[in-house]
Amino acid sequence: MVDKKIIEIVDVIDTSKVFAKLSDSQSGGICVFVGAVREFTKNEKVMSLEFEAYEQMALREMDKIAINAIEKWQLNSLIIQHAVGFKKVEDPVVVVGASSAHRDACFEACRYLIDTLKETVPIWKKEVFENKTVWVSAHP
C-alpha cells in the first residue's frame, strides 16, 4: 500500500521539504537523489540551464515510472519532481526519492527513477553558455 506518491513539474524545487514528504512509520529507509546545475560542461562555463516540458505527457510518463517502481520495490512513498524554466548553477532541477522498509529497495528504486526519467520523460534542457545555447543530446 503506497502512502504517498508525488509527481510534479514545478518552477522551484524545495529540497528541504523532501524528507517530510517521504517519511512514514513503515519505512526504515529513505533515499533521495537530487540533480543540480553543474558549472562546467566539457570545460565550457555554463551560465544557466533552461528546461522546457511537454507537461501533460511528462506527468503521464513520470507516473508510469512511479507505478513500475512502487510495484517492483514495494515502496511506501515516492516523489518525482522536475523543475522548468531558467536555472542557475547549483540550483536543484530534479528530485527523485523513495521510502521502503529496508534500504536496498529505496536505493535501487532511486537509480531506476532517475535513469528512466532521463530516457523517456519529454523534458528538454538547453545549456546557455556565454556565446551560444545548446539543446542537450539533440545531435549525435
Partner 1 sequence: MKVLLFGIAKDIVGSSQLQFSEVVPKTVLELKQLISKTYPKFGELSSLAVAVNSEYAKDDVPLNRNDEIAIIPPVSGG
Residues that bind partner 1 (CB under 8 A): 35, 51-54, 56-58, 60, 82, 93-94, 114, 117-126, 135-140
Residues constituting the chain: 140
Give least dist CB 124 to partner 1, A.
3
Which residues are paired to 128 by β-bridges? 48, 133
Give least dist CB 21 to partner 1, A.
19
Which residue shows C-alpha cell 508525488?
6
Residue 118 CA to residue 14 CA, distance in Å, equals: 20
> In the complex with partner 1, which residue's Cβ is closer, 74 or 122?
122
Alpha helices (H) in 6-138, listed in sequence order: 18-22, 55-73, 103-120
Give least dist CB 79 to partner 1, A.
14
> In the complex with partner 1, which residue's Cβ is closer, 107 or 124?
124
> In the complex with partner 1, which residue's Cβ is closer, 3 or 91?
91
From residue 124, give the alpha-carbon distance in Å to each of 44, 54, 83, 97. Answer: 20, 9, 11, 21
Which amino acid, 57? M
Give least dist CB 74 to partner 1, A.
25
- What the block records as the C-alpha cell of 9 is 513539474
> In the complex with partner 1, which residue's Cβ is closer, 24 or 136?
136
